[in-house]
Amino acid sequence: MPENLNLFDYAHEVICGVDEAGRGPLAGPVTAAAVILNPARPIHGLRDSKKLTEVRRDALATEIKAHALAWAIAECSVEEIDQLNILQASMLAMRRAVEKLSVTPTLALIDGNRCPVMSVRSEAIIKGDDKVDAISAASILAKTARDALLYQLHQEYPQYALDQHKGYPTALHLERLRQHGVAPIHRRSYAPVKVLLK
């Protein structure tokens, strides 16, 4: 827990950590995960997924799924992102993840500065993915799930090299977009994609 949170405030709560992955990419869904850790089965090395190697993330994701009291992954599609905007789609994906949990939490701790609207009480924690283990775990599951989806999309659309950049707006991705045009997997509301549709 971060220094400004009192552990005693959470002693009787069933806490789930919640985080999302994939706000920035030009392609693919945004994913979210919710995790309720098991205090009797601690997982060592949890931290913000962006600070871990892919190999370490994958190993921790396997451990989280094996040891957590409950976990769930959800997503919002490219179509939903374009319809709602990425912020609202991220909030919806997080709500879906919490609602899919097999154990009902009493409190959801959300990475960031705002919470999705849902029936479970929630609290936003800025940089929570590096302060709260349950949020770190959610960060890892959301990231590994999204990466796996992008590897699948790479099989369908190899011309965009999604396996290398996971849909993010890298120079390579932008070059391939200009070369091959916009595919159904691209977020048409994002400026680098929208400009190619004119």
- At 25, which CATH number? 3.30.420.10
In a domain? residue 189: no
User: Which residue is associated with the tokens 């995790």?
Assistant: 35
Q: Residue 74, class by beta-carbon neighbours within 10 Å (0-12 exposed, 13-18 middle, 19+ buried)? A: buried
Maximum alpha-carbon separation in the chain:
57
Q: Which residues, at least 6 apart from 45, have a Cβ–Cβ distance to it below 8 Å?
A: 56, 60
Please tell me the predicted confidence (pLDDT) of residue 9: 63
pLDDT at 91 exceeding the cut of 50: yes
Q: Which two tokens stand for residue 182?
A: 């916009």
Helix 133-156 to helix 54-67 angle (10° resolution) is 120
CB contact at 8 A, 37 and 69? yes
Distance CA 39, CA 34 (A): 16
Give a yes or no: residue 166 inside a domain: no
pLDDT of residue 117: 94
This prediction has a pTM of: 0.93
Return the minimum-mean-pLDDT range out of 38-42, 92-96, 154-158: 38-42
Any domain includes 83: yes
pLDDT at 10 over 90: no
Assess if residue 178 is contained within a domain: no
185 occurs within a structural domain: no
Residue 146 has pLDDT above 70, yes or no: yes
Let me know if residue 188 belongs to a domain.
no
For the chain, how many structural domains are there in total? 1
Token code pair at residue 47: 């931290």
Residue range 32-57, pLDDT digits in tens: 999 999 999 999 999 989 899 999 99
E-only strand ranges, the chain = 15-21, 30-36, 70-76, 107-111, 122-125
Binding positions are: 19-20, 111
DSSP letter assigned to residue 40: T
- Whether residue 165 is contained in a domain is answered as no
pLDDT (0 to 100) of residue 3 = 41
Residues placed in the known binding site for a divalent metal cation: 19-20, 111
8 Å CB contact between 74 and 13: no
- 84 within a domain of the structure (yes/no): yes
Q: Which domain holds residue 105?
A: 7-157
The predicted pLDDT at position 13 comes to 87
